Amino acid sequence: MFGVILSSLVCGLVPYLVIRALWCHFYPKRHHLQGKHVLVTGGSSGIGLSVARQVALLGAKVTLVARNVERLQKAKEEVESACTKLEGDSSSRVQIFSVDLAGRRENIDTAIKEAEASQGPVYMLVNCAGFSRAQVFEDIPQSLVKELIDVNLMGSFTVTQEVVRGMKQRGEGGVVVFTSSQGGLVGLYGFTAYSAAKGAVVKLAEALHMELKPHGITVTVCYPPDTQTPGFEEENKTKPVETRLISEAAGLFTSDQVAKKLVDDALQGNFISTVGFEGFMLTTLCAGMGPVTDSLSLLSQMFLTGLFRLISAFYLWSFSNIVRREHEKKITAGSRTKAECSQVFFWTQACRQE
């Protein structure tokens, strides 16, 4: 009986996913970017840089915001050279601003005002600036918790506040994108501080979506899995083995794959954007009472949540196996060291006695 239900669900899933992929591809876009101003925070590297390249290729004027000036300059050249085949002067297409989004609010406000003064009002804002650090709970210094929240949550909050004010006044609609993470939907080993910061971004986006809907401004949240970027390389230098093994369950993608899906979803006005089958299952399962932006996603959530909850139990079981195995390894290694220590102890004692 259970087998019949499960196999019919799985058989239904394949054609459904094909229809879904076709729908997403051919569904008409709600927003267009030709000649519009797109501001990308974290646009000098990784996912943000890929987003900047994609929107520039769609004819947008782009502002990149980050701290390091050399990386910004290099990113500007990269985006401009990607656009050489487009009509018009590509050198005036991209401008850069060096601002610390975890820093003083006046600097952030001034940069946005200057960016709008030269490229026109921001039509699309992509909050991509952020970082992650994985560490065991009790080892995380307060300063790191604060920094993770300041950059990932408060940075997005402040920039969006400033941009949305203008968007609402003009009444011409717009797009706001937040970058959370799959680790913002499920709390993972090593990500106590990071998951908290990225989870908060999701709730900020849900509430803002409700406020902005009557103004024709759509909100999208991107939930990337592990993505090959300089930020990811940095995270890997100190990441606990448990975090690495668990995260690997959702696969590894390129920043172009994540950015392409992000831009497609944002232009269609979809609230959720993710890549990969695990991403699809996770965002469907965790839809909760998030906004309904397209009927196909609502359908998946209605019919697949139960099945995906069951599947999640298997994933969680394998995750706890990873954690237990690593825990046992540490205990064995620990007791071996203790045994070695005591051997050394006896040996030195014996030497002393001699």
Ligand X SMILES: CCCCCCCCCCCCCCCC(=O)[C@@H](N)CO
Ligand Y SMILES: NC(=O)C1=CN([C@@H]2O[C@H](COP(=O)(O)OP(=O)(O)OC[C@H]3O[C@@H](n4cnc5c(N)ncnc54)[C@H](OP(=O)(O)O)[C@@H]3O)[C@@H](O)[C@H]2O)C=CC1
Residues that bind ligand Y (CB under 6 A): 42, 44-48, 66-68, 71, 100-102, 128-132, 151-152, 179, 181, 224, 226-227, 229-232, 255
| Cβ-defined contacts of 74-79 (< 8 Å, 24+) | 74/44, 75/43, 75/44, 75/45, 75/49, 78/49, 78/53, 79/49, 79/52, 79/53
Q: Is residue 285 at the binding interface for ligand X, with CB under 6 A as the rule?
A: yes
Does 261 participate in catalysis according to the annotation? Answer: no
The partner in contact with residue 230, picked from ligand Y, ligand X, none with C-beta cut-offs of 5 to 8 angstroms by kind, is ligand Y
User: What are the Cα distances from residue 250, in Å, to 84, 243, 295, 339?
Assistant: 36, 12, 25, 39
Output the CA–CA distances (angstroms, integers) from residue 271 to 66, 128, 194, 205, 306, in the order listed: 25, 16, 21, 9, 21
293 binds, among ligand Y, ligand X, none (CB under 5 to 8 A by kind): none
Dist. CA 185–CA 274, nearest whole Å: 12
Dist. CA 63–CA 116, nearest whole Å: 9
Specify whether 198 is catalytic: yes
Work out which of 174, 199, 231, 290 binds ligand X, going by CB under 6 A.
231
Please say which residue, 107 or 319, places its beta carbon nearer to ligand X. Answer: 319
Nearest residue (CB) to ligand X, 96 versus 285: 285
Query: Is 295 a residue of the active site?
Result: no
Report H helices in 275-294. Answer: 277-285
Tell me which of 189, 194, 297, 300 is the catalytic residue: 194
User: Smaller CB distance to ligand X: residue 110 or 312?
Assistant: 312
Residue whose C-beta lies closest to ligand X? 181
Nearer to ligand Y, 83 or 102 (CB): 102
Q: Which two tokens stand for residue 107?
A: 């600097």
Which residue's CB is nearer to ligand X, number 62 or number 186?
A: 186
Q: Which one of 61, 198, 239, 261 is the catalytic residue?
A: 198
DSSP summary character for residue 327: H
Smallest gap from Cβ 5 to ligand Y, in A, equals: 34
Structure tokens at 346: 């006896």
**How is the beta sheet containing 61-66 ordered, strand by strand?**
94-98, 61-66, 37-41, 122-127, 174-179, 217-223, 272-274
Could you give the residue numbers annotated as active site? 180, 194, 198
Binding site for ligand X (CB under 6 A): 132, 181-183, 186, 225-226, 231-232, 235, 247, 249-250, 278, 281-282, 285, 308, 311-312, 315
